[in-house]
Chains A and B, each alone.
Chain A
Amino acid sequence: MKRLLPLIALVLLLVAGLVYKVITNSTPLIGQAGQEKTPHVVDSTPAHGEVYAAQPVNVTINFNTDLSPESTISVKGNNHEWTDGPVRIEDAQTALKVDLKPGLPNGQYTVRYTACWLDRTCHDGRFTFSIDTTKQATYRDLRGRAEVAIDMTNLTFDTANIIISPETTVTWTNHDTVGHFVNTETHPEHTYFPPQNSREIPADGTFMTIFTTPGQYNYHCSAHYPGMVGSIIVKE
């Protein structure tokens, strides 16, 4: 038996090494619970685990290298697929985006994506987000107006959370002495709703955006992030 001990130890070491190698080569990058990240992923809108007060208009995933057209996104909730139309690649081939159908109910949604690179290798990722319309109670209802004004004062958007009707024009005016920005999520990629991206707005300057598609549009000032944020819900 004593003569067999070195052999036994060697066998155990070899087996342990083999199992470790197989497992580490097969395990995707693990983020928070329920999230699996691919290489080169930067962030997403919605973010993993984020709770929206109304449905997002799309799911956008940002990477730091070129995506290829084989990339895909699936958004499922209650065993129903909610993507609407083909996946698009935007922002110098680094943003993967898919529109969502209208009418997403409250609940949790799982986003599964396959990110493919120019050499056609692909990686799978996953994250979740939720919708809870009771959170709209904190929003100011400004529906029925063709135009809505938001002032930027004291490093804040004076009406941070609002609900507006489709086809409403929102105008931001800078009443501070420092420059501000109005930028869509996520900071600093700003890829969720590009028409809501301003350059620097100087003192007394303005910026406007027309919102047409129902859904939630979170935004921020890139010079004073994350303290200066706002949210617009477009709703019939």
Chain B
Amino acid sequence: MNSKAILGLIVLAGLIATAGGYYVGIVRKPADTSPEPTTPGETVPTVSLRPTNTQPPVTPVTVLQPAFQNIKSPHYVSSTPTNNAVVPTPVTTVAIRFNFDVAPPSKITVTRDGTEITTGATSISSDKLTLSVPIMGNQSGQYAVSYVACWPDTSCHNGSFGFAVTLP
């Protein structure tokens, strides 16, 4: 078999493979694997420009809060602050309410712009329906909450949400 024939066979094989992939990927209407959903109305965040010595000062543009997706553990009911809340005052406690008994070693972790700012241990209310943790939320920024909710058999499930603090 000469080189031209071999080249032709290789190209043909490539075309068949491409056609097959097109069929699987396009014609058969694949499941939607779009990335994590966002809150409707989310806009692209903008950044403020640092002024230079030779340019006039640029008016700072407010950084828009990225949307947090509320990943709910089983029995999640609500949280304070709520997911994607914009709080104009310092936040000192994050609380999460459930409709079933939570147990140790349930835990809440809160970070601000990537830095952990919890100031004490997670506590379980006397009725076993609320987890809470003290935090240092006295600065403006994005606060990400991740928690582990554990049940009486000590199995645990994760959840997460977030909020923003915008102080004057």
Contacts and interface: CB of A to CB of B under 8 A. Distances in A.
A187 B26 CA distance: 38
Contacts of B101: 181, 199-200, 222
Nearest to B6: A1
Contacts of B75: 91, 188-190
> Which of B20, B28, B74, B76 gathers most chain A CB within 10 Å?
B74
Contact of A26 (B30, B70, B155): B30
A15 to B, nearest CB: 4
A118 B7 CA distance: 51
B33 interface: yes
B70 A25 contact: no
Nearest to B11: A11
A33 interface: no
Contacts of B43: none
Contacts of A190: 74-75, 100
Contacts of A16: 17
B34 interface: yes
Nearest to A125: B31
B69 interface: yes
Contacts of A122: 32
Interface string B96-108: 0000110000000
A23 B24 CA distance: 7
B51 interface: no
A18 B153 contact: no
B121 to A, nearest CB: 23
B150 to A, nearest CB: 9
Interface in A49-76: 62, 64-66
Contacts of B26: 22
Contacts of B24: 22-23, 26
B159 A123 contact: no
Nearest to A190: B100
A119 B40 contact: yes
Contacts of B30: 25-28
Contacts of B159: 64
Interface in B1-25: 3, 6-7, 10-11, 14, 17-18, 20-22, 24-25
Interface in A106-128: 117-119, 121-124
B34 to A, nearest CB: 5
Contacts of A137: none
B166 interface: no
B135 to A, nearest CB: 23
B73 interface: yes
B31 A225 contact: no
Nearest to B127: A199
Nearest to A194: B99
B31 A123 contact: yes
A94 interface: yes
Given A19-B18, A22-B25, A8 B10 contact: yes
Interface string B51-71: 000000000000000000111
Interface string A211-232: 0000000000011110000000
A4 B31 contact: no
Interface of A: 1, 4, 8, 11-12, 15-16, 18-19, 22-23, 25-28, 36, 38-40, 42, 62, 64-66, 91-92, 94, 117-119, 121-124, 179, 181, 187-190, 197, 199-200, 222-225
Q: Which 9 A-B pairs have the closest CB atoms?
A: A26-B30, A22-B25, A1-B3, A223-B152, A19-B21, A119-B37, A28-B31, A22-B21, A15-B14
